[in-house]
Structure 1
Amino acid sequence: MASQRDSVGASQQKETIPADEFAGIGEVACKQVMLEASDAMVLATSEGIIVGANLSAASMLGRSQDELTGMHVVQLHPEEERKRVLSVFEELRTVGHSLVEHRVLRADGSLVHAEVSGTRIRDQGTGEIFMLGVFRDIEKRREDESRQRAAVVREVHHRIKNHLQGLSGLLARHASREPALQPALRDVQGQIHSISLIHGLQSRRGSEQIWLCDMVRGVCQSIEEVWGLIQHITVTVNTTSPVYISTDECVPVALIVNELVGNAVKHGGGGWYSVNVEACVEGSPEKARVTVRNRGRLSEAFEISRGRDLSSGLGLVGALMPREGAKLDIRMIDGSDEVVSVLDLTPPVLAKPFEHEI
């Protein structure tokens, strides 16, 4: 604390502030105003040492007024914000006012989001300079803003999903009239359904982020509907906690899963109406795996890593694969007629949940 006080104090000695640049008020009068204010207020010297705090500040910070007196202002904030706090404090000393949002550290270690308004004042009697900080708890405001944003997100994604479903319906009508085009149109329908699924999940959750398990379940259900499968695709989930997909990668990953599962359905044996396909999601928020199993065989020339002997769907998979955070392997199980597609996902494709999701 001494080093912080000395560093700020040294810069104070080098600076001469014109008297007409700041408000003049007695320290006693200032403290009286603080006591009567409903907002949390803290009064500090130009070196950042707290000389007074009102009851509202004591309540917000979980400390007594006596305990706050003598602390340095940076001690009211978590370690990772203290460099920024010192920078803002220096700006306050120089400019005379500041308005920022900070996380404030309570005595029990919990954090409060606060809007901090700073004003530089001068004691009319002694000429000494003080810094007055007014702290306003903005947690409720942040929650209101988050709810409003979620409502907008839900509405936008809901509308997009409805438009895409309408387009899928048109393709279904064309497929019923042109049997020869049904396989190709079903592929396109599956892709549109996957994109629609993402917007549907985002609309339901009111968030741009979605869970990997929800995505895989939704894609499999969509394929069952598009292809008219009698036997359901088996989906199992074994994760330690929810696995979030990065907002930018939601649609590409959904399309990749759609192609892998759709390809497994086409080659799953017994025709489209009696397939044996399994999809499994496992892992953790930092490392997840999607595995798709089906009956079938790969040609000797097939090589996913080099793009050899790939169908148009798997060619699309190669084009959609993120450059970082995703790896795909498709192989046959030795001594069997089973094909396994393994999609490994790591950051940045996987993401940490948004703050309001925690």
Structure 2
Amino acid sequence: MDVDLFAGPGGLDRGAESLAASVPTMGIEWSADACETRRAAGLPTIHGDVRKYGPGDFPTARRLFGGPPCQTFSAAGSGAGRRELDTVLGLLKRMSARESIAADLARLDDERTGLVLEPMRWALEAADAGRPFDVIVLEQVPQVLPVWHGYTEALATEGYSVATGILRAEEFGVPQTRRRAVLIARRDGRAVLPAPTHRPYIKGMPQDADDSALFPGLAPWVAMDDVLDRPGPFTVVSNYGTGGDPKDRGRRTSREPSATVTGKISRSRVVGPGGEELPRFTMAEAGVLQSFPADYPWSGRDISQQIGNAVPPLLAAHILSAATGIPLSAGAALAA
């Protein structure tokens, strides 16, 4: 059984299920609400703190996945992680040298910042026990890419081939523009990031524009209209990327991908062609924009935050396929 750290409501695990030869994934998640959703979806789950577990608790696990909390690194978050980036990179080097960093972690401004180092602890403990993980997959907000570069150096000394980069969700069929920093590490082959299957969204360029010369062999990106069961055209008005300035609200039409789905998606207005107010997105619709099935059993409280924090399953599927060499199953369809 694989292990998924900071597993959330199941985005990465749903992606793993779409591989042609999937292996059950045990998700460790501290949020009781996300665990409630996971269990409703039938996903193996441990409700707990990843810091209280280690690879010794999962001696047969061959692959490690993880998406540490992003709140202190993201542009919308507190910024504590960005301010302490040099400290985090220094701690990473010391971990690789097998030095204890427990006291230093306790001195960080926000304890969530140190969680980005937990997958490295798991990787090193597994290696020291003589059972290194064959594959490691990590994802986070783009601001964490320098940390993944630090991981690259450390994991290379442990015998891994490592690939890192920024992936755009709409380039893998997700009806949403979302950028993620991804790390893939392998001991059993050369690590590579997945190749896009869809064209990148370019503001002002229609979905049906003849840009095949620019992006040969790629399908058009997926629009909100393609996945949501809503009559007629509409426009979504949101605060995403505006810094909270109401004069600079972002707008996307239904013939475009959604802006990044966040925990505040319920605040986004949906308006018709004449400017009339339409019903705002339901939680099921927000999940679909993340590429979850329309009938995904969202449970517990704060569902919008669960959805906003989740890894889009369709993006996860492509990442895991590239990491493991296992193709997607025929007819795998994660988005409604």
Bucket of the pairwise TM-score, normalised by the shorter protein: under 0.3
TM-score scaled by structure 1? 0.23
TM-score scaled by structure 2? 0.24
Instruction: Kindly indicate which of the two structures has a greater share of residues assigned to strand.
Output: 1
Rg larger for:
1
